[in-house]
Amino acid sequence: MAGQAERTAQSPWVERGARLGFVAKGLLYALVGILAIEIPLGLGGKTTDRQGALRTVAAKPFGEVLLLALALGLAGYALWRLVQAFLDRDDEGSGLKGLAKRAGYLARGVLYGGLSVLAVSIVVGAGSGGSSEQEETARVLDWPLGRWIVGAAGLGFLAAAGFNGYRAVSQKFRDDLREQQIDSAARPWVTVVGVVGHAARGVVFGLIGLFLVRAAYRYDSKEAIGLDGALRKLAQASYGSWLLGLVAAGLVAYALFCFVQARYRRL
């Protein structure tokens, strides 16, 4: 049984799914960033999240075909993360640190699996609507221990913000890449988009986490925000156009880093 699990975990199809998934993930981040960066440039645009990006794709010519391709990629990414979580593909172990990392893999697998399902549901006409972060948070707050669950989710986002900030400063993301296969002239640029992209994600996740914790503390679902809400908060701040533009550009940089990972990530 253990041998079968090992063969499943190391299947080349899992790796192919992960690489395709990085492309899909990059496309979503690119669309979110580009739509946001158009605002300070006076080109229209809007703040949106990954779910909104999928609906934007659906409205384009051949949108349904593109959505199905994205759904396939997101499903591949989710599969890889779930295999990491349940079959310990990366040998993280069952210690406290290993279990924490595997829990993170599980969370990402569920998130991107949900995005894949949403993409398919939009194509078949069942996903045109969607609950806001406030509505979803209100439902959770009504659960037993719901306030603690929302607070824990906020702390999780704050931890993710810190992790992304750490990776940006330490450049630990380079350890995940087969850098020797990247052209020597391109390597510095890969480092730049990795640093900028992780820093931008850190800012966005930090804002989401802070407002979720505040929603739990105040028992008020209206405090909760998602990715689009975090971008709106930046736009409303002092020098908001500059801040939004910088973070939006950072999300586009992260999209480019995802494309690099699609080819050069160690898997």
Domains in the chain: boundaries: 1-130, 131-267
Indicate the SS3 state at residue 252.
Answer: helix
Q: What does the alpha-carbon distance between residue 8 and residue 94 come to, in Å, rounded to a whole number? A: 19
d(CA 153, CA 216): 10
Across 10-14, 138-142, 185-189, 215-219, the highest mean pLDDT is recorded for 185-189
What six digits make up the tokens of 227?
């990715």
Q: How confident is the model at residue 1 (pLDDT cuts 50, 70, 90)?
A: very low
Whether residue 31 contacts residue 248, with contact meaning beta carbons closer than 8 Å, is answered with no
Q: What is the mean pLDDT of residues 173-192?
A: 97
Distances (CA, A) of 163 to 160, 197, 255, 257, 260: 5, 13, 18, 16, 20
Give the closest residue to 200 by CA, choosing from 211, 188, 192: 192
Q: Tens digit of pLDDT for each residue in 220-232?
A: 888 888 888 888 8
At residue 221, the pLDDT reads 86
Higher pLDDT, 104 or 136: 104
Which carries the bigger pLDDT value, residue 11 or residue 24? 24
Q: Which residue has the higher pLDDT, 37 or 83?
A: 83
**Assigned token pair, 19:** 């690489």
Q: How far is CA 17 from CA 4, 13, 63, 66, 255, in A?
A: 19, 6, 22, 17, 17
pLDDT at res. 135: 79
Residue 107, Cβ density class (10 Å: 0-12 exposed, 13-18 middle, ≥19 buried): middle
Written as six digits, the tokens of 87 are 């079959």
Per-residue pLDDT, averaged over 156-184, amounts to 96
Residue predicted with more confidence, 94 or 76: 76
Give me the pLDDT at residue 129, please: 55
- If one compares 234 and 260, the residue with the highest pLDDT of the two is 260
Higher pLDDT, 8 or 130: 8
